Amino acid sequence: MLQADVLADIGCAVRPDYGAVEAQVINEMDSETDGNEIVDEVNVVDLENETIQGVNELRRIEDDVLPKSKKAKTSSVDCWKVFTKLGADKDGNPLAKCNGCSKILKGGDRNYGTTSLNRHMKKCTKIKYADVGQVMMDLQGRLKNLTIDKKVSRSMCATAIIARDLPYKFVEFQKIRDWMKYLNPEFSPISRNTAKADVDEIFKTEKEDLKKELANIPSRISLTSDIWTTCTSEGYICLTAHYVDSNWNLKSKILNFCHMPPPHTGSEMSKKILDFLSDWGIEKKIFSLTLDNASANDVMQAHLKRQLVLQNWLLSEGEFFLVRCSAHVLNLIVQEGLKVIGDALEKIRESVKYVKGSEGRMKKFKECIELIGGIETSAGLSYDVSTR
């Protein structure tokens, strides 16, 4: 090979002036060794007196990154980004036209393949690629577009915030911004308010998708709900839907989890849940509601049941509407039975409290366990919870 285009070896050369990827290559002296061609020296002359640097370095990077036996050829899919199929000629040979230089070549079907098209694609200097600042070489030695969609980037950031329960100010951490700037110099940081808006947008999208799913399911929906007060005396209410989808998969989705201002009376809670159902558009598809044995829940379900029955939205006039939480009922039974041995349980609780109150006592306790032997468990000492 006395004179070869370096574009056939590395994909293409990059000209830094208007962002176009093109070059004219003159003279390449090389030597052939066992089928492996090495570019020793390449003279590259830019048509507008700007020298393209790094051609040999790009080839060396390709050789270092991938073993020669694993270097991938240009994908047949890639060539159709710059070629247009023209059909067959009079002899039945498939033809394709280069979108850069308009040259017509044979190839493109199972018999001819795309080898000739890929070879031409690497050599053609009239094919327009993306801006040089948005181009890099992948592990197979091909140039690929690195244009970053800001909308997609922000959506992925919002998804990460949701998945890991991160604070909105996470996007304003300077070290995070420095890291992103290092990965992409074109990175534009966003504020916590923008991150919050992106999370809200994802919530709205997911809510609309779930609304459509609930509207299209053939079955009715069973609900579970609970209300509790935090250590800061703030009330919260949660409503969860359980249903079987069109593919007979049992699904559970939290519909609402929000602040519940006082008073936490049965009538107020029934209004709140009815508003939830109306917002989701499922008030006509309710089958049952599972609650614990709190007295306010009895009043709440009675009010809610009355409203739904008046609209004829419940089966059998609401006979199966209320379901008592079996776990809560079972816990009440157990707690009542434990009162018989209440004195012993109190001594056990005090003993656990004594041992856990000092690191030295905890160490001594573990030594006693090892001395006794036969106790193999990774569980430590813990207090019982009366409501669990």
Q: Domain locations in the chain?
A: 7-130, 150-208, 220-324
Distance between CA atoms of residues 225 and 359, nearest Å: 41
Q: What is the pLDDT of residue 213?
A: 95
In angstroms, the Cα distances linking 244 to 239, 247, 253, 262, 284 are 17, 8, 11, 34, 16
Q: What is the pLDDT of residue 120?
A: 85
What pLDDT band is residue 123 in, cutting at 50, 70 and 90? confident
Q: What is the mean pLDDT of residues 89-114?
A: 84
* Matching residue, tokens 């009330």: 235
Mean pLDDT score of the chain: 79
What pLDDT band is residue 145 in, cutting at 50, 70 and 90? low
Tell me the DSSP string of 154-184: HHHHHHHHHHHT--GGGGG-HHHHHHHHHH-
CB atoms within 10 A of CB 227: 20
What is the enclosing helix (H) or strand (E) of 52? Answer: none
Q: What is the mean pLDDT of residues 87-96?
A: 85
Q: What is the pLDDT of residues 283-325, one digit of tens each?
A: 999 999 999 888 899 999 999 999 999 999 999 999 999 999 9
Is the pLDDT at 234 greater than 90? The verdict is yes
Q: What is the pLDDT of residue 9?
A: 43
Q: What is the pLDDT of residues 253-272, one digit of tens each?
A: 999 999 999 999 999 999 99
Q: Please state whether the predicted TM-score (pTM) of the whole model is above 0.75.
A: no
What pLDDT band is residue 235 in, cutting at 50, 70 and 90? very high
Q: What is the pLDDT of residue 199?
A: 96
The CATH number of the structural domain formed by 220-324 is 3.30.420
